[in-house]
Amino acid sequence: MAIEHFSKIKALIREADEIGLLCKARNLTGFSGEKLVGTLQRIAKYQADRSAGCYLEVGVFKGLSLLSVASVLCEERAYGIDNFSQFDPCGNNERIIAESARGNGLHNVRLINSDYEDALENLGVHIGDSKVGLYFVDGPHDYRSQLVCLQLAKPYLSDLAVIVVDDCNYRHVRLANRDFLIANQEYKLLFEAYTKCHPANMGKGSEWEMDARKGWWNGVNVIVHDPQGELHRMVPETMRERTLYENEHLVHSARYGFLALDAVACFQSVLSFKLWRALKGLVRMGIKARHVDKHLLGCYESMNTFSEGLPMGQFNEKLL
């Protein structure tokens, strides 16, 4: 049973690799490759046809993947989690999704307008007794968010669940996937595909960018639930050097750690001899430092713990 299931998933991925989209909904825009969206469509439809669970994604943007999947699902619901805190400066994306759904005659789309962590911790409130058959992770791409998205969804995944993780070109995304697979050995990596770099760095309109738009965009990992151990263990390749991640501790505990990203951008400008940009960056950092929320500013130069006000000692009351 499990081997047949995995073989079918592999066949659907190969079909998407050769053909692309299963069908194309109208007037959709976003950042995904056609092979990736085609894979989501095929697996979601396959899972729905055998009552193996609903479709859920984290990171909706303007609805390209969510509505593309919904368009092949008949009455099966497609759920999308997004609070539109990123890539939505004018606050239009939720309206765009609603209009696109109406324009494509889709009534099975359910948008969960919430922070991904809040939504996943209380997912049963939104999907009821349903289990998730296909889970698409395309939310915040920092290491912690990637790992939390995988871990928090586990209780809601069906026995035949498939997880598709986008933007796996990023080393820290692959590391989160690897750590999830090592810690949860009932899950296995079934398929991985990457492009040479992020499409934004390929040159707009270049042959490479067009291939990414037709293909896997910015890399993908497909993970399956394999509690019986039918598949060999395989993990995405990452760099063994952990200094970058270990330095996170130093940044978090530094007095002005919240300026780390600004500092990196400023230093890049210096190294590129864009001195005027670097100077403006320094001014912005000074303004931020003067007007920062007191909860972000440490009391000491380093080793800030932000532990003031925490209990001196506290038991779980149920133990008593």
Planar angle of CA 77, 162, 230, nearest 5 degrees: 150
Which residue, 225, 257, 278, sits at the end of a domain? 225
Domain of residue 210 covers 2-225
pTM of the model: 0.92
Q: Is residue 287 part of a domain?
A: yes
Please determine, for residue 312, whether its predicted confidence score (pLDDT) is greater than 70. Answer: yes
pLDDT tens digits, residue range 131-186? 999 999 999 999 999 999 999 999 999 999 999 999 999 999 999 999 999 999 99
CATH of the domain at 35: 3.40.50.150
Q: What is the pLDDT of residue 318?
A: 79
**Do the Cβ atoms of 134 and 40 come closer than 8 Å?**
yes
| Ranges of H-type helices in the chain | 2-19, 34-49, 64-70, 93-103, 116-121, 123-127, 143-153, 171-183, 207-214, 243-253, 260-271, 275-290
**What's the confidence (pLDDT) of residue 168?**
96
The full DSSP string for 161-226 is EEEEEE-TTSHHHHHHHHHHHHH-TTEEEEEEE--SS-GGGS-TT-HHHHHHHHTTTT-EEEEEE-
* pLDDT digits 0-9 by tens, 198-232: 999 999 889 999 998 999 999 999 999 999 999 99
Residue 314 lies in a domain: no
Task: Find how far residue 115's CA is from the centre of its chain.
Answer: 13
Contacting residues for 45 by C-beta, under 8 A, at least 6 apart: 22, 72, 73
Asked, for residue 232, whether it belongs to a domain, the answer is no
Is residue 212 domain-shared with residue 270, that is, in the same domain? no
Among 191, 225, 259, the domain-final residue is 225
Is residue 295 very low, low, confident or very high in pLDDT (cuts 50, 70, 90)? confident
Compute, in degrees rounded to 10, the torsion defined by CA atoms 281, 254, 172, 127: -100
285 with 256, same domain: the answer is yes
Q: Is the Cβ–Cβ distance between 78 and 109 less than 8 Å?
A: yes
Average pLDDT, the chain: 94
Total of domains in the chain = 2
317 part of a folded domain: no
Regarding whether 166 and 107 lie in a shared domain, the answer is: yes
Decide if pLDDT at 311 tops 90. no
Specify whether 12 is located in the same domain as 103. yes
Domain boundary among 225, 257, 285: 225
